[in-house]
Amino acid sequence: MRVIQKALTFDDVLLLPAHSRVLPRQVSLKTRLTRKLDLNIPLMSAAMDTVTEA
């Protein structure tokens, strides 16, 4: 079996607060749902019941 692509989980990532040179106006929080559909919200829920508690 070959690996299609590398992926990260929530336990693999740590965000640390720090100063940034990026201005708030330069940031896009859109989420691409499909090739033709962009959402103007920053996040989508994962399709996992352990994440969404659904």
Structural domain count of the chain? 1
Examine residue 52 and state whether it is found in any structural domain, yes or no. Answer: yes
Examine residue 6 and state whether it is found in any structural domain, yes or no. Answer: no
Examine residue 49 and state whether it is found in any structural domain, yes or no. Answer: yes
Boundaries of domain holding 47: 27-54
Per-residue pLDDT tens digits for 39-54: 888 766 666 667 656 5
Per-residue pLDDT tens digits for 3-49: 678 878 878 888 899 999 999 899 888 888 889 998 888 766 666 66
- The dihedrals phi and psi of 38, each to the nearest 5 degrees, come to -110, 135
Residues 6+ apart with CB under 8 A from 38: 30, 31, 32
pTM score, two decimals?
0.36
